[in-house]
Structure 1
Amino acid sequence: IHPYRQWFWNRGPVYENMGFDKFMSEENMPPLEKRGTLSSDAALTDEIIREADSMDAPFFFFAVSLQGHGPYQANRYPDSKLEVQTDASEHTRQSVRSYSQGAMDADASLERLMKWASRRDRETILVFFGDHLPPLGPAYVETGFMTSRVASRTAPAADMMLQHETPLVLWSNKRGAERGTGTISPAFLPLHILDMAGLQHPYYTGCLVDTSDAA
């Protein structure tokens, strides 16, 4: 489920080839409420819960949210009450403010999903992660986080980790949070998800275990 067009990143054919039974996108979903200029995380969460509650059999959802995507233009959220205190430029202050409001909204949506899952009898596993840091290039330079607007491909490993690592939440309504994953590639997420669910698969809990141990 992704509240944008199927052609972007060729998602329609890609998801079908990956084995997904259905792809809910802008073309076949009811219009979702906007937050700023993009479909809101709150509306996407409503759709996830509605779809999940309609299913009797076990299911796997992969939801790609849209609201928090850049660019983070000034006044993206006119009703935002957030204040950003910084010695950086006004442009940077406004960009960070817009990003922070989106992050706060995403956090609120995750909280809603966790409260919803906590009321379910069936075990429900939530995985929440980002694919890259937000594109806040000028803010990174002005605050000294990076020396250029784009992450270097030749920086020391510790710097590259800092510039690419994103948070990960892996949580079950029956067992709570999984805290032993450490720093991993998203490629290994299926291994941890199936392991948490108590499932076995020749590739995902077989080959990936061997690859992970060797990495």
Structure 2
Amino acid sequence: MQFADTLLLEGTPEGLQRLMEDGGIINLSEPSERATRRSKASVAIVTIFGVMGLAALDVMPIAGLAVIDAVIVMMARCVDPEEAFDAIDWRILFMIFGMLGLSMGMDETGTARVIVETVVGAVGGIGPIAILAAVYVLTSALTEMGLNNAVAVLIGPIIIALVIELGYDPRPFIMAVMFAASASFATPIGYQTNTFVYGAGGYKFSDLLKVGLPLNIIFAALAVLIIPIFFPF
């Protein structure tokens, strides 16, 4: 061996790291993939099914169960703390926090109420079907610009108050809000799943728009036709 020779080394990550730290070897490239911990697979599988089962039995909220699951997986060394930290996509988190701030701003300034009252007032004279369609489209549009839960909580009470004043049962309109806030596919921020898939899959904004917008239109048409059958005005 002579100076500047290139070597292919195999060993444990800790052992290779010690060689690099000694200074006698310069690391040109280090594999980013880690060895699969097959011995820990049973722990991960049991915890996943445990969360599903306990959530189905309504033992406690799934959010709390997920946190407990994550702690168990970490303590069992299925995932190293460094790997878990690196797996967090901070851009997505900041995007979610920003959309929550936007929803809170719309609530505090009264913007949401003005928008809802304007839209419902514009179609109120046409009939309940038109109001239902307007509520669905408005909720879907706002959801595509923010977060579904925040939008539903934000405009739900406003819709209820307005339709009661018009003499209609609020249930079909609330169902429209629920469906529209849960079936938004046209933007990466319309739903949490969209956001995660958008980052992990390397999609462009236009990719979701091309596929998601037709889906939104189909869901809207079906909802406006079917909701009144089960929840009359």
TM norm structure 1: 0.29
TM norm structure 2: 0.27
| Structure richer in strand, relative to its length | 1
| Structure richer in helix, relative to its length | 2
Larger radius of gyration: 2
